[in-house]
Amino acid sequence: MSRRDHLALLVLPAAAVAMLGGMLAASLPLWQSFNLDPDYYYLLNGLRLVEGLAPVDVSHPGTPVQVLIAAVIRLLHPVAETGAVVDAVLADPEPPLIVAALTIHLLVGIGLWLLGRAAYATCGGLMPALLAQAAPFVTRIVAKSALHPKPEPLLLRAVCLLAAVALAAARETRAGDRHAVLAGVAMGFGIACKIHFAALGLVPLLLFDRRRLVLYAGTSVAAFLAFVAPAMPSWEIWVDWLRRIALSSGAYGEGAQTVIDPGRYPRAVLRLFTGRPAMSAGIVASLLVLVAYVRLRRRGLLAQDRRVRLLAGIVLGQVAVVLSTAKQPVAHYLIPALALTGPALAILWAMTRPLLPAAAHLWGWRAAAAGVAVGVGVSAVAQTLQLAGWSRAAASIPMSRFDGCAKVYFDAASAPSYAFLRADLNAHGRYSARLSARFPADEYAWFIFDHTWWKKGVMQWGRRLDLAEVLDAHSCVVFRGNQIWLLETLNRTQAFAPDDMCIAGEERIYTRGVDCRGQKK
C-alpha cells in the first residue's frame, strides 16, 4: 500500500468523526425530546456503576455503553468521593454524555479505518476500501443514531471489526484460530451492546471449518459474558425481558404469546426491505453476483474465490437482522444490517472485475462511488440542519415564561426534569430523592401510555398522582409534549379544555389559566 493510499484511508474515518461531532453540537442539549431516550437512561445507569451498583436498564443489554459512561464520569471527577460525583453529575449531566459521545465517535472512526485497511487488502484497491468505509452513512438513520452515547454507534464499530476480521479470513486459503477468536470477540461485544446483533453471527460462518466454528462460538459466548459482567446482578431482569420479547407477537413484549403475528409479520418484513432501498439494492446485487459466480464456476470459467463465502454470509446476516427485528420494525434496529452494505459493495467491486469489461467496471463503479459520496454528503448536511432546526424550535418557547404555573410534561417533552424522571425510573428510582431536591415542586410527568418498565399516569419522582389533583392544586397549568394525538384523546375523556395552544417544533404546549405569552388569567 502506497503512502498516498495510507493517507486516503484516514480521510473518511476522520470525516465521519467530524460529521458526528457536528451533528452532536447541532442537537444539544441532550435532554431535548428527540435526544433523551436512551441517552439519559444510560447516564444514570452508568452512575449506578460509579456507585458500585449494577445497571438495571439491561433490555439491550447495553452494558459496554454504561461502562464507558461510568469511566468517563470517573475521569471527569478523578479524586472526588462517590457522593460528590453523584451530586456533580445530577447538577450538570451534559458534560459526561458529550465526552462519552465524542469518545464513541473516535472509536467508530478507528473501526472504519480498520475496515478500510482490510477491504483494501482483500478486495485489491482503494476504491472498494472507500466504498466499505462510506456506504453505511448513505442511510440517514445510521449517522443520526451514531451521534449519541448509546448502543448504535458501538454496533457500527462492532460491524466494522467483524467485517474486517472476516475480510482478512477470506483472504487466506483457510481461516486461522486468530480469525475465529477475533470474530468471536467482535460478536460478543456487539451482542452485549444490543442482542439482535447475534443475527450477524452468520456473516463469517461459511469461512470457518468445524474446529474454528467451535472456537468462534465459544469465544463469542465468553466475550459476551465478559462484556456484560458488570450487569450480572440484574441478569434475571434481562432474561425475563428476553422471554417476553421472544414469546410475544407484538413489539416490546406486547400482543398474543404466539411468537409472531402471521397477519402482521410478513408485511413488517416487506416494509423493512422496501423502506431501506440502499440495503435492499445491495442484497439484490449480491444475489445476482452470487448466482453468476456459481454458474461460471460450474463451467470452469472462474477460479475459486473465498470472498464469495463472505458475501453470502453478509446477505444471510442482513436478512437475519430484518427477520429478527420485524416484530418491532424500528429503523435504527437495522443498523447492523445497514452497516454491512459497505463491506458488501467492496466485495462486489472485486467480484465484478472479472465479469465486466474493464471500462464498464471502471466507470460503473466510479458512478456508484459518486452516488455514495453525494448521498453521504447530502445526508450529513440535511441531518445537521434538521437537528439544528429541531433544537431552535424546542428552545423557541422557554418554560421559564410560565413561572408560578404547574408544568406537566407528557410523552415526550424537552425539559431536564422530564429527561431525568424517565432516566430515574430506568434506574429503579435510585436518584429520586436527590433529583426531587434539585427541581421545582411544580414540575410533573404525565406518561400517557405504558412504558417498558413503568405504567402510564402522572408521576413526580416516584410518587403517583391523580391528574385532577394536580389541576386543582394550581391556578395555572402548562402541558408540553409531542405525542399530541394520544393527549388529545385523553383530554376528551377527562373533559380538559385548554385556554391556549402554542407550537415548539414537534411539541405542543397547552395552557390553562395562562396564555402562551405567560400572561396569567
Kindly state the average pLDDT of the residues 160-170: 97
Task: Output the pLDDT for position 496.
Answer: 65
Strand partners, 443: 407
pLDDT classification of 491: cutoffs 50, 70, 90:
low
Positive or negative CA dihedral for 392, 393, 394, 400?
positive
Asked whether residue 81 carries a pLDDT value surpassing 70, the answer given is: yes
Please give the pLDDT value at position 377. 87
Task: Give yes or no for residue 453 having a pLDDT over 90.
Answer: no
pLDDT of residue 460: 94
Q: Stretch 63-70: mean pLDDT, rounded?
A: 98
Please classify residue 72 by burial: count the beta carbons closer than 10 Å to its beta carbon, then call 0-12 exposed, 13-18 middle and 19+ buried.
buried
pLDDT at position 492 = 64
| Single-letter amino acid code for the residue at 104 | I
Torsion angles phi and psi, residue 219, rounded to 5: -65, -40
Q: Quick check: 498 and 510 in contact, CB under 8 A?
A: yes
Higher pLDDT, 51 or 245: 51
Q: Nearest CA to 472 among 512, 499, 439? A: 512
| Cα pseudo-dihedral 494, 495, 500, 501, rounded to 10 | 50
The amino acid at residue 515 is D
The cell for 117 is 485497511
| First-to-last C-alpha distance (Å) of the chain | 74
The predicted model gives 485-489 an average pLDDT of: 69
Instruction: Give me the residue label for grid cell 445476482.
Output: 288
Q: What pLDDT is attached to residue 136?
A: 78
Burial class (CB in 10 A: 0-12, 13-18, 19+), 361: middle
Per-residue pLDDT tens digits for 318-354: 999 999 999 888 888 999 999 999 999 999 999 999 8
Check residue 493 and give its pLDDT: 56
Can you give the pLDDT at residue 254? 79
Are the C-beta atoms of 71 and 149 separated by less than 8 Å? Answer: no
Say if residue 462's pLDDT is above 90: no
Share of the chain above pLDDT 70, in %: 98
Lowest mean pLDDT among 159-168, 290-299, 308-317, 478-487: 478-487
| Stronger pLDDT, 170 or 139, i.e. the higher one | 170
Q: What is the pLDDT of residue 300?
A: 84
pLDDT at 495: 55
Average pLDDT over residues 424-431: 95
Q: What is the mean pLDDT of residues 453-477?
A: 90
Task: Give burial (CB, 10 Å; 0-12/13-18/19+) of 257.
Answer: exposed
Q: What is the pLDDT of residue 299?
A: 87
Higher-pLDDT residue of 256 and 442 is 442
Residue 486 has pLDDT above 80, yes or no: no
**Tens digits of residue pLDDT in 1-30:** 788 999 999 999 999 999 999 999 999 999
pTM of the predicted structure, to 2 decimals: 0.94
pLDDT (mean) for 359-364:
94
pLDDT of amino acid 433: 95
Strand order in the sheet with 507-512: 463-465, 457-460, 443-447, 406-410, 477-481, 507-512, 500-504
Provide the mean pLDDT of the chain.
92
Q: For residues 492 and 128, which has the higher predicted lDDT (pLDDT)?
A: 128
- With bands split at pLDDT 50, 70 and 90, how would you rate the model's confidence at 384? very high
